[in-house]
Amino acid sequence: MKALLRLSFLLMAALLMGPLSAQHEGHEHPEAGTVQADQAVHDHADHAHADSAMAATTTVHEAEAAHHEEKKGFDAGTLIMSHIGDEHGWHLWGHTSLPLPIILYNSERGLSVFSSSRFDHGHKTYGGYLLHDGHIAATDSPDGSDAHHATINEELTKATWDISITKNVMSLFVSVTLLLIIFLSVAKAYTRRAGQAPTGLQNLIEPIILFVRDDVAKSAIGHKYERFLPYLLTAFFFIFLNNLLGLVPFFPGGANLTGNIAVTIVLALITFIIVTVNGNKHYWHHILAMPGVPGWVLAILTPVEILGMFLKPFVLMIRLFANITAGHIIALSFFSLIFVFGETSAGAGYGVAIGSWAFTVFMMCLELLVAFIQAYVFTFLSAMYIGAAVEEPHHH
Amino acid sequence: MLLASLVEPSIGLIFWMTLTFLTVLFILAKFAWKPILNGLKEREASIADALNEAKRAREEMAALGAKNEELMRAAREEREVLLKEARDIRDKEIAEAKGKAKAEAEALLSRARADIQNEKKAAIVEMKNQLAELSIQVAEVILKEKLADRAAQQSLVDKVMTEAELRKS
């Protein structure tokens, strides 16, 4: 029965994964084509960029014309995507951005470190690089030349490692600084006031720590929970804090860090490594040869179980990413409705604003709940997977 | 393209995320989670200890109370016993004293009675003796009177002689 449940769960996960990866691949090809054909279609890095698939088939002038036409209208999709995506420099308001360091490395030019303001919002080249569709590309044009007309050095671009402090990285730094400040000060309170009743911040944090310890780690892992508690607590508070920071609409919040797949992939990978490293004989035996299952079923079940090993962290990664990103998209969509309607007439804009505002507030409240739930779900499932890996065989 | 950029993880962010997260994990594990979890565990242990202590103290108090009760009861019982014993002793002594007094009184009485009896006998004997003496004296006087002349004496001798002879025959 349990195996059957697991099987159906895995099938579901596989089905969910299918369309996603298909989309991923489907979009990769036009993009690759775009880069070669289109060097002219650019805009502010953090603002609307033209549909590259279209640009790939049009001439530069046509593309620019189309682009300018598009720019007149309000492009909700681009706005939303730029808000949930990453960027070099942190857009604060209007044309004001916080410049962030750009760090690039390739074997040909070595390490390059400079401010993102050198790109002038993607209009200029600097140090042999330019900003193309929000991504760094290498160029052979001299510094300060017009980025829109510079040629991209494809080979060098591919060989360049971009480890710039982007908006998300900056947000990551802000959030971990907050985490460190909060928890180190709370830890100090525990050592200074050992054995006494909690006060202040301790009071806020302690129930959550106890929740993670008792209802997540202890209940999912069992008596071996203590070894995994530091990771589970760190993951929980990291995700929770970043989910909350993502809901703050202004600097230093507003980055969509836990809705970024690079972040969730790292978290899921750490869970995967912990599970795999700590898996005991019992765990591997269940994966490779489920006891009590006839041989011909094993031929199906074992590949599924092995697939499941990788699907578990994959699903962890997708769930957090999709939930947080979807929340941001929905909240921003309601918000964008105001401007979409406002374009037709100001009255309609104001009229819609009331409803949009109400819906956005509703979404924000929902997202507050989701912020906690997703942190909980990620931690709990991680704990479950770890629990399955360290579980001792039952005595029948 | 937009979605592709969303699901395409950027190397830079992966790099910084891994570096930062692992560093934070290490720092928090060493300097935050360890003291916090230890502190929580210690506090829980101390609370549990205090509760146990209180429970034990309460139990001890209850036991002490029961013991006191027991002691009180035992003391009361002992007092009862002692009182009873004392009463018994008193009663016995009184009874004994009464018996003794009675016996003594009886002894005295019986002695007195015996004395009286003896005195009576002695008095009777004496009376008898005095009576005999008196009768002898009276007889002497009478005899002296009667035997004053010869004839009377002779007649008496004769009478006695005849009587004696009569008796012989």
Parse chain A into domains and list their residue ranges: 2-71, 101-164, 169-390
Which bin fits A47, alpha (ψ -120 to 50), beta or left (φ > 0)? beta
- Tell me: pLDDT of A222 over 60: yes
| Tokens found for residue A367 | 């997202």
Number of domains in chain B: 1
Give which of B33, B34, B44, B47 to mutate to test A binding, by max A Cβ within 10 Å.
B33
Of B13, B29, B43, the CB nearest to A166: B13
pLDDT category at A161 given cuts 50, 70, 90 is confident
Comparing A213-217, A250-254, A339-343, which segment has the lowest mean pLDDT? A250-254
pLDDT category at B2 given cuts 50, 70, 90 is low
pLDDT category at A13 given cuts 50, 70, 90 is very low
How far is it, in rounded angstroms, from Cα B32 to Cα A216? 19
How far is it, in rounded angstroms, from Cα A230 to Cα B30? 9
- Tell me: pLDDT of A61 over 50: no
CB atoms closer than 10 angstroms to residue A58:
17
Three-class SS of residue A90? strand
How many Å lie between the alpha carbon of B34 and the closest alpha carbon of chain A?
A: 8
With CB atoms and an 8 Å threshold, state whether B35 touches A265: no
How many Å lie between the alpha carbon of A333 and the closest alpha carbon of chain B?
A: 16
The pLDDT score that the predictor gives to residue A240 is: 95
Mean pLDDT of B129-144: 89
The pLDDT score that the predictor gives to residue A395 is: 58
* Chain B CB contacts of A234 below 8 Å: 21, 24-25, 28-29, 33
Name which residue leads in pLDDT, A17 or A167.
A167
Q: What is the dihedral angle through the alpha carbons of B58, B64, B66, B69, rounded to the nearest 10 degrees?
A: -140
Comparing A50-59, A79-88, A240-249, B122-131, which segment has the lowest mean pLDDT? A50-59
Mean pLDDT of A36-61: 37
The pLDDT score that the predictor gives to residue B169 is: 64
Give which of A20, A23, A27, A323 to mutate to test B binding, by max B Cβ within 10 Å.
A27
Task: Decide: A235 and A168 in contact? Cβ < 8 Å.
Answer: no
The pLDDT score that the predictor gives to residue A58 is: 33
C-alpha pair distances (Å), A88 with each of A81, A85, A128, A170: 14, 11, 16, 10
How far is it, in rounded angstroms, from Cα A212 to Cα A376? 8
- Tell me: pLDDT of A14 over 70: no
Which residues have C-beta within 8 Å of that of residue A50, sequence separation ≥ 6? A41, A43, A63, A66, A67, A70
How far is it, in rounded angstroms, from Cα B51 to Cα A107? 67
The pLDDT score that the predictor gives to residue A369 is: 93
How far is it, in rounded angstroms, from Cα A387 to Cα A369? 26
| Tokens found for residue A175 | 């959030």
Name the amino acid, one letter, at A147. A
Task: Decide: A265 and A396 in contact? Cβ < 8 Å.
Answer: no
For all residues of chain B together, what is the average pLDDT?
A: 89
How far is it, in rounded angstroms, from Cα A176 to Cα A364? 23
Residue A167: closest CA among A51, A264, A252: A252
With CB atoms and an 8 Å threshold, state whether A180 touches B27: yes
Give which of B2, B23, B26 to mutate to test A binding, by max A Cβ within 10 Å.
B2
pLDDT category at B95 given cuts 50, 70, 90 is very high
Task: Decide: A49 and A346 in contact? Cβ < 8 Å.
Answer: no
pLDDT category at A52 given cuts 50, 70, 90 is very low
Interface of A with B in 280-319 (CB under 8 A): none
Domain extent, residue B134, equals 2-168
With CB atoms and an 8 Å threshold, state whether B1 touches A53: yes
Assess whether the previous peptide bond of A19 is cis (omega < 30° from 0).
Answer: no
How many Å lie between the alpha carbon of A172 and the closest alpha carbon of chain B?
A: 7
The pLDDT score that the predictor gives to residue A127 is: 77
The pLDDT score that the predictor gives to residue A6 is: 54
Which bin fits A337, alpha (ψ -120 to 50), beta or left (φ > 0)? alpha
- Tell me: pLDDT of A15 over 70: no
Question: A301-326 pLDDT, tens per residue?
Answer: 888 999 999 999 999 999 999 999 99
How far is it, in rounded angstroms, from Cα B80 to Cα B77? 5
| Tokens found for residue B136 | 């002898």
Question: B58-79 pLDDT, tens per residue?
Answer: 999 999 999 999 999 999 999 9
- Tell me: pLDDT of A12 over 70: no
Question: A262-306 pLDDT, tens per residue?
Answer: 999 999 999 999 999 998 888 888 888 888 888 888 888 888 999
How far is it, in rounded angstroms, from Cα B10 to Cα A55? 24
Mean pLDDT of A374-381: 95
Residue A176: closest CA among B32, B12, B36, B40: B32
Note the pTM of the prediction, 2 decimals. Answer: 0.70
> What's CA B93's distance to the chain center, in Å?
13
The pLDDT score that the predictor gives to residue B3 is: 63
Residue of B nearest to A256 (CA): B6
The pLDDT score that the predictor gives to residue A31 is: 38
A21, β-bridge pairs: none
CB contacts < 8 A, A to B, total 147
How far is it, in rounded angstroms, from Cα A374 to Cα A380? 10
User: Where do the H-state alpha helices sit in chain A?
Assistant: 2-37, 52-55, 60-72, 76-84, 154-159, 167-192, 201-210, 219-221, 229-247, 261-278, 281-288, 295-344, 346-390
Question: B6-58 pLDDT, tens per residue?
Answer: 777 888 889 999 999 999 999 999 999 999 998 888 888 988 999 999 999 99
Name which residue leads in pLDDT, A268 or A52.
A268
Per DSSP bridges, beta strands A135-138 and A161-162 are unpaired
The reply to whether ipTM tops 0.85 is no
How far is it, in rounded angstroms, from Cα A121 to Cα A115? 11
| Tokens found for residue A315 | 């699903």
Task: Decide: A55 and A35 in contact? Cβ < 8 Å.
Answer: no
* Chain A CB contacts of B36 below 8 Å: 183, 186-187, 190, 209
The pLDDT score that the predictor gives to residue B125 is: 93
With CB atoms and an 8 Å threshold, state whether B24 touches A234: yes
Interface of A with B in 326-385 (CB under 8 A): none
How many Å lie between the alpha carbon of B49 and the closest alpha carbon of chain A?
A: 12
Comparing A119-133, A295-309, B136-150, which segment has the lowest mean pLDDT? A119-133
With CB atoms and an 8 Å threshold, state whether A190 touches B36: yes
With CB atoms and an 8 Å threshold, state whether A164 touches B12: yes
- Tell me: pLDDT of A43 over 50: no
Three-class SS of residue B168? helix
